[in-house]
Structure formats: structure tokens, C-alpha cells
Amino acid sequence: MDGNMRTRRMVILPVLLAVALLTMACGVCPLATGFRPPEVQEIERVVTRVVEVIATPTPPSSPATGSPTPTSPSVIDIVIQPGADVETEILNAVYRKVNPSVVNITTDLGQGSGFVWDDKGHIVTNDHVVQGAAEVYVTFDDGMQIPAQVIGEDPDSDLAVVKVDAELHELRPVELGDVDDVEVGDRAIAIGNPFGLQGTLTQGIISAKGRSIPALTNFAIPEALQTDAAINPGNSGGPLLDAEGRVIGVNAQIETGSSFVRANAGIGFAIPVNIAKRVVPALIETGHYDHPYLGISMQAYSPSLWKLLGLDPDLRGVYVLSVVSGGPADQAGIRAGTRDTGKYLPGPTGPEPLYAGGDVIVAIGDRPVRDNADLLIYLFRYASPGDVVDLKVVRNGREMVIPVKLGVRPRR
């Protein structure tokens, strides 16, 4: 009998015993009656995940680059005594599973968090944690500190990859989740190093999905997760987890409610793991990620804006404010407005004049566009430079489809 089989048997037996003890403690046998109290259902769900994790095969390859997509070799070893608190036991189990994968990242400029991506020494963090750093060190949960090298950065998604010598420490890759499986109200667990306090766990819920948060450039990051799990300075780059210990986001930003005190105010944001799944393999392979690029600035529908522009109030989409000269949209014939309204909109460098007569983008491919985020989500999730996408636009009250060959977003 090999070591893996022994491990399976050692873990599964205590788990099954735990379920049996819990059902006896609840005074009901679910197998006999068909009734499962909520607490039993919760344990059964997690136990199912335990068995799935134990039986996880070799990690599949990323469709984008062929690099291994990480899955967790860890096991949630749950032993629940009769009368024990289910929520506490789940949090304990998630911490045991994931904390060995979470690291403290210190640089000559500051510190943050990160997590082990694969067994080759690649560790994911925020770009703002390591940007401009001359020296980077990774500290594991057992206190061992190892020098690291920044091998890839993407300021447009605020993600970076650092690499350590895989021979110097046991590496336990995280298991990745999917934001499409996440619902508002789901449990959210953060593990990181707030204010340098290594191995700190906090929990809350997913407060909202689909937020757009600023990147380190003039672009935005779509589909961010909002959570009330306490996230503070030092948590940046650490994982946001679901109840099974799967990474669903990379903690990145907080709303403090004050320009003087940088501390948690119950609103934190995490970069969605689905973006990391696309960006990180490219950072490992090439050191950078090429974002698809349209070359427009845009503004989503609002009644007051549409009134100023003289547009149909029932029309929904994004208005093309400007088109980058020579860019993909410009070459395809997408039009911005030319008639001066005498009004101004806030821009990245100050107020910008508003011109009427531009195109309204109402769909990209087969997906409707209702706001800026819809367009960004499509580009982040489904498109690559060189792809030809169909933009459905309304121009002077007439609908038309314009093919656009996407370019590469300029790097700053």
C-alpha cells in the first residue's frame, strides 16, 4: 500500500466517524429518515469536498499557456465532536488547509501577502506590493524566510508573480475556485498578514459582486468581489476564500472612510480569481500579460447624459466619448461625438468637453452592453489581442454591426 493510499484512509475514516458522531448528537439518523438538519447538510457538503480533494488527479493544463493550473494537494481534516460548533470547525479546517499556502511578502518598500500558485516556486501577490522593489523576501507559515525574484507584473490587473527556489521549502499550492459559483451572502474568508501579523484569519460574507475597482493604471478591474471580512494594510495579495478553502479572489483594496486612517471599514475588494487564471500563467511564461484593446473612452447610460446628447431615453449602452487616433476602434470606423454640448465630464486628467453625435455601443459579440463593466468583462474574460469582435452600435438612430480587430493595450 503506497503513502497516498495510507493518507486517504487515515483522513477519510475520521471524517466519516465525525459525520456519524454529529448525526447521533443531533438525535436523528439522516440515512434512515431522509431528513438532514442544516448543520448536517453543511458537514456533509464539506466532507464531500474532503474526499474530492484527496482524489484530485494531476493538475490540468491552462488552455491559454499550457502551464499547470494549480489544484490543492491539501486535505481538510475535520474531526467534529458531538455538540461542537459547526462554523468554528469549518473555519479551523480551512485555516489548516490554506495557511501553509499563504506567505508574508516583505520588500525594501513595505510588506504584503501572497499565496503559493504551484510547486515550481511561483507565488501570486498584488503588483502594488512588489512594484519598484529592489529586494523581495517570502516568509512561510513556519517562519522560514527565502529571497524571491519578481518575474512578472501586470499593473492593469494589479497582479504579480514572484519566484522562490522550490528546493528550499515545501510548497503547497492553493485550490482555485470560480467567481461564477459565488453568490452574495456566501461565506468569505481572508488569510494574510495585516499590519505584518502573519497568519491572520478573518471572515465575513460576499457583500456584492461585479464591482469595478481602479487598477494601477487609468483602466479599471471588473468583476471585483466586495466583502466585509476584515482586510487591512498587509492583506494585499493574500487569498479571499470560500467555505471549502478555494481561492475566489486576491485581496487588493479597502474603503477606509477616511483619508487619514488606513484601516478596515467593513468594505474590502478582491480581484476575481477568474482574472488571475488568465493573467498569472502569462506572467509566469513571459513576464507580462497582453490585454486586448479597443482604444476608446466611454460613459454608461444615465438619464441626464442621454438628455444632453439627444439620445433615445430607452436606449441602453455605453456612449463613445473619444476614440484614440490610429487605434483599433478608429481603424474600424467607430465614431466619437463632434458637436460641442457646452458641458463637461470628469476625466482622468480633469474635466473633458462633452460632444454629441457619437456611437452608442449596445453589444459586443453576442453579449449585451449596458455599462462600462460589461465591455471590460468581455475583454478580460473572452478576448485576446488579434481577435476580431463585432461591436453592435447605434449611430444616429440606426443600428449597425462593426467588426473591430483588437490591439494590445499600451503599457505605461
Catalytic residue annotation: 128, 158, 236
Alpha carbons 327 and 20: distance in angstroms, whole number = 64
Alpha carbons 169 and 399: distance in angstroms, whole number = 59
Q: How far is CA 331 from CA 30, 221, 338, in A?
A: 65, 26, 17
How far is C-alpha 11 from the chain's CA centre?
31
Residue for grid cell 492553493: 174
Grid cell for residue 61: 493544463
Give 326's Cβ-side CA count (13 Å radius).
Answer: 1
Q: Do the beta carbons of residue 330 and residue 295 sit within 8 Å?
A: yes
- The SS3 of residue 218 is coil
Using CA atoms of 260, 264, 265, 271 in order, give the dihedral in degrees to the nearest 10.
110
